[in-house]
Amino acid sequence: MNKTASRSLLEWEPINERIITVRFKSKFQEVTIIQCYAPTNAADQEEKEDFYSNLQSVIDKTPNRDIKIVMGDMNAKVGNNNVGNEVIMGKEGLGEMNDNGELFTDFCGQNDLVIGGSIFPHKNIHKSTWTSPDHTVNNQIDHVTISRRWRRTLTDVRAYRSADAGSDHQLVIAKLQVRIARVKKSEQQRQPRFDTTKLRREEVKNSFKISLKNRYQALADLEDGSMEKKWERVRCTFTDTCREELGHRKRTYKTWLSDGTIIKIEERQTVRQRLLQTKNKGTKTRHPTRVLHLK
């Protein structure tokens, strides 16, 4: 997340190894995003039913007024035939619906969710979200769904094949016209941390001990009061000593990627370009250009 999104984060919760949720504050309504990884089409029916049962439990716990977004690798082909499902999907899907697609569309219909990838017209290459290792099969199995009530906030969903994600899945981006809002934090949450690393130095450590001891001895001479007043005096004594002896920790920034990681990424991109060039040459060889001569 960028800084703007992190300031709008309300909560997040990992449900299990296949489902995780996150909730943001927005200008309109709170936004709940449920990220999923569904079982494959070849998985046991019991495993699939357990997954959708857990997913339904998460949906039921989500506040009704929230903008709900369920997305992820659903391993489901919904196809381009929306007969009977006109409310939850369009005709811009890729391929034909499979068994997982039926489970997925039933779930969306039950919870009034619209499948975004089936609505917006794009080239097939921009609908496909997964490519087989031999580059012969392209499927649309990663999806972004949104509450039908907020369907108009979704302006586009498409796959971006140029993203170097190190996966056989393509990057899927959905655009929403929703403005997130900053979450107001209490003063206690905004307080900077004390620089406890100074305690590693022996002279600072001894000075801190002496100062704290003298302050606590002064507290012993005060008259007893209520438990709240006693705790407040102890807390203020400790924080004041830390502020004077240690100071606040300076914020430091770490490099996101090391030089070695960047080199590995560049090497992988080079190999990927060579594979794509080899594939393109093979395609041109199998399908030679035909020239029509006119007399």
pLDDT, mean of residues 188-199: 74
- 16's tokens: 């299990």
Q: In this predicted structure, what is the pLDDT of residue 75? A: 94
- Name beta bridge partners: 20: 14, 35
Q: Are the beta carbons of 131 and 170 closer than 8 angstroms?
A: yes
Interval 171-198 mean pLDDT: 77
Q: What residue type is 166 in one-letter code?
A: G
The single residue listed with the structure tokens 């996966």 is: 167
Closest Cα partner for 64 from 88, 37, 29? 29
Q: What is the spatial distance between Cα 217 and Cα 9, in angstroms, rounded to a whole number?
A: 43
pLDDT beyond 80 at 223 = no
* DSSP strand pairing (19-24 vs 9-14): antiparallel
Mapped onto helix, strand or coil, the DSSP state of residue 222 is coil
Confidence band (pLDDT; 50, 70, 90) for 295?
A: very low
**Mean of all residue pLDDT scores within the chain:** 86
34, pLDDT greater than 50: yes
Write the pLDDT tens digit of every residue in 125-143.
999 999 888 888 899 999 9
pLDDT grade for 224, boundaries at 50, 70 and 90:
low
The secondary structure of residue 16, as a DSSP letter, is S
**What's the pLDDT tens digit per position in 55-85?**
999 999 999 999 999 999 999 999 999 999 9
**DSSP H or E run through 60:** helix 45-61
**Whose CA is closest to 47, among 18, 70, 13, 14?**
18
> What is the tens place of the pLDDT at every residue in 161-170?
888 777 889 9
